Structure 1
Amino acid sequence: MDIKQITYNVFSHLLVNGTFSVDCFFFIGGYLFMHNLRRYIEESKRIDRDNSSSLSELGTTTKFDKIQSSKTNLSLFVLYLNRYLRMTPTMIFIIGFGAITLRYFGSGPEWTNSTVMFDLWCRKNWWINLLYLHNFLDTDNMCLSHSWYSAVDFQFYLIASILIILLRRRAAIGIGLSLFLILGSICITWIMTIVNNYPAVPYFNDIMFVYKNRLFAIDFKQTILFFKFLPPPNRPLDVINSYYQNIYIKPYCRIGPYLIGLLLAYAIIINQNSRKLTKSQLILGWSFTIVSTLGVITAMLPANNGDIPSVQLAAIYSSTSRIIWSLGLAWITFVSSKNQGGFVQRFFSLKCWIPFSRLTYCAYLVHPIIIALFYGSRQQTFDYSFYLILYFTISNICITYLASIILALFIEYPISAIGKILLQ
């Protein structure tokens, strides 16, 4: 079977666009942060009122008590510590397993290549992960390379905490700063795509070599900007690695979906009593969502077949596609909050998703180890086929969630519960 031809089919194109699923998680993260923090604030206010009433009945209310019960303070330290305790223990366990015990679980011709990011790199750079800076420091040897998402998510959390305080106190400034950050993310991604000659989507095929005929970059080392031709990359993988390190795992290129989710939650909160959407508004909104999301996914299908877009067009797609995708998610979430989401709302509201949602973090951390154990212990290669890959995928998902149940019950949930008790 010609592996090169496989990369040109529609299924391969959909797999490459699977990276938009990460933006779904960023969007959900921003939305839930605002939504859950609001519930925390309301619960704190209720407790303050109850305490104030109890003190008044006892006749022991002081001026200080009245001041404290009249407002709810948002402690950034408590927010950050709570998030750190929520995310870190499970990661520590996975790092320890990879660095200490994984080497005893198998062997094979590809064992070292398959497990290096869990074994060697974790023994070297485990401490960077605990600081959530592994998407910036020594990214070539990143411990748990897939955990870049945790670093970016934690960095978004730090930024969003400040934005939420601004939204509570100076709403206009908070909204303006959020929109400025989204626009800045678009501009940075656009510039970096042009400067580094990245394709719109980093495919694993000879699309990279086609780019060598017309690559150019802006040289910022000179006083005046000018264009120059660059030598072609040695391999497609070089371009993909560069794209990964400079754009894909950097918060300033990925923050757009997170802030869109946060702003949507804020808009829903302050407009809780707004009227239902009209039929024409629903038709217009759903039309935009369907056209935009399908357009984002299919726009680069010609490029996958060798019809390479210009560098400028690639930059526009790379910098705006995730924003457009997130706006589609925002519409679905918005109409669902008004109970006007139809069958889409009913599908995503099914209770069968709840167990999976509670195991998502553990599954995310452990699934590459399951895959590495399987492929690293192979003593010989196997012939590629769609059904074989489907079989491996389903098997890996099942094993991953079984392992996630154990991790959640014995590591994540107990330590998170202890952390909440200590913080309270």
Structure 2
Amino acid sequence: MHYPLGQLIYWLFVPILIFTILLMFIFYPGQDPSTMAHIYAGLWEMYARPYTKCGPFLLGSLLGYYIFCTNIQLSSLKSKLILSSSIVLAVATVYGILPEYWHPDQGNTLYNVLYTALFRTVFSAAIAFAIAALVLRKERVNVPLIWTVLARLTFNAYLLHMPMIYIFNNVQFLQNATTPYELLAIMPFVATLSFLAAFVFYVFVESPIGRISNVLLKSVF
């Protein structure tokens, strides 16, 4: 499961950084507070309901079961092709929301309905294929421990991303920003705060629960 450091940087860190910066250029200026409150209420309604996460959860469970049961090993070329395709699909899914920003008053069109219903599952499928492309690859080499640490912190930052978003919504500067460049300037601070929160969450919540789950699974299976 381990790959050269330079290869990991090229295939994972650099694309993620680039697309994170590009994502800041998707913004919707000129909104009044009442409209924004309505938008955030709708977001909370979607995130609060468990069935909005069923697709990604099932795909993740199936991926773990498949990796556990299969002996398939991918060549370097196949692994790179699958990983590249997964990254393209993930980016396309993120930017697929743009028509809703460009035409906010078009209502419940077929595209909007399908995108809202499927984008989480499609995005999780892209992540699943990327994981499979790396885990099932033939070549194995050691990498620095820092990558394991970053992987765990990133996962915990994901678990905390909605509470962090609601906290940042109360930062007036972020609400008044009219260009992506203002967001770029504050991004290091936001990222640092998010990963500090992720570290605390990992130490006191995710890691203890993971250890307990591991013991329970071993006793069952």
State yes or no: 1:242 paired with 2:36.
Answer: no
Identity %: 17
Amino acid at match of 2:101: N
Which residue does 2:134 correspond to in 1? 336
State yes or no: 1:266 paired with 2:72.
Answer: no
Amino acid at match of 2:184: L
* Cα distance in structure 2, aligned partners of 1:412 and 1:287: 35
Which residue does 2:147 correspond to in 1? 353
State yes or no: 1:289 paired with 2:72.
Answer: no
Assess, with a 3 A threshold, how the Cα gap between structure 1 residues 241 and 340 changes in structure 2: closer, same or farther: farther
TM-score (norm: length of structure 2) = 0.57
* Cα distance in structure 1, aligned partners of 2:113 and 2:166: 34
SS at 2:160 equivalent: helix
Assess, with a 3 A threshold, how the Cα gap between structure 1 residues 313 and 321 changes in structure 2: closer, same or farther: same
Q: Which runs of 5+ in 2 are unaligned?
A: 1-18, 217-221
Assess, with a 3 A threshold, how the Cα gap between structure 1 residues 262 and 337 changes in structure 2: closer, same or farther: same
Q: 1:205, 1:236 within 8 Å by CA — same for their partners in 2?
A: no
Q: 2:25, 2:180 within 8 Å by CA — same for their partners in 1?
A: no
Q: 1:260, 1:327 within 8 Å by CA — same for their partners in 2?
A: yes
* Cα distance in structure 1, aligned partners of 2:169 and 2:97: 30
* Cα distance in structure 1, aligned partners of 2:20 and 2:73: 42
Amino acid at match of 1:351: L
Q: 2:73, 2:137 within 8 Å by CA — same for their partners in 1?
A: no
Q: 2:59, 2:125 within 8 Å by CA — same for their partners in 1?
A: yes
* Cα distance in structure 1, aligned partners of 2:169 and 2:112: 33
State yes or no: 1:364 paired with 2:160.
Answer: yes
Q: 1:257, 1:326 within 8 Å by CA — same for their partners in 2?
A: yes
1:14 is displaced (CA, Å) by 2.1
Q: 1:370, 1:399 within 8 Å by CA — same for their partners in 2?
A: no
* Cα distance in structure 1, aligned partners of 2:73 and 2:189: 47
What's the C-alpha RMSD, in Å, of the aligned pairs? 4.9
SS at 1:235 equivalent: helix
Q: 1:256, 1:323 within 8 Å by CA — same for their partners in 2?
A: yes
Which residue does 1:276 correspond to in 2? 74
1:385 is displaced (CA, Å) by 5.6
Larger Rg: 1
1:326 is displaced (CA, Å) by 1.6
Q: Which runs of 5+ in 1 are unaligned?
A: 1-9, 18-202, 208-233
Which residue does 1:390 correspond to in 2? 184
SS at 1:339 equivalent: coil
Which residue does 1:169 correspond to in 2? none
Pairwise mapping of residues 63-82 of structure 1 onto structure 2 (< 5 A)? none
1:382 is displaced (CA, Å) by 7.9
* Cα distance in structure 1, aligned partners of 2:22 and 2:64: 32
Which residue does 2:98 correspond to in 1? 301
1:284 is displaced (CA, Å) by 6.3
Amino acid at match of 1:265: G
* Cα distance in structure 1, aligned partners of 2:98 and 2:193: 33
Q: 2:90, 2:126 within 8 Å by CA — same for their partners in 1?
A: yes
Assess, with a 3 A threshold, how the Cα gap between structure 1 residues 270 and 296 changes in structure 2: closer, same or farther: same
* Cα distance in structure 2, aligned partners of 1:367 and 1:397: 10
Amino acid at match of 1:316: L
Which residue does 1:120 correspond to in 2? none
TM-score (norm: length of structure 1) = 0.34
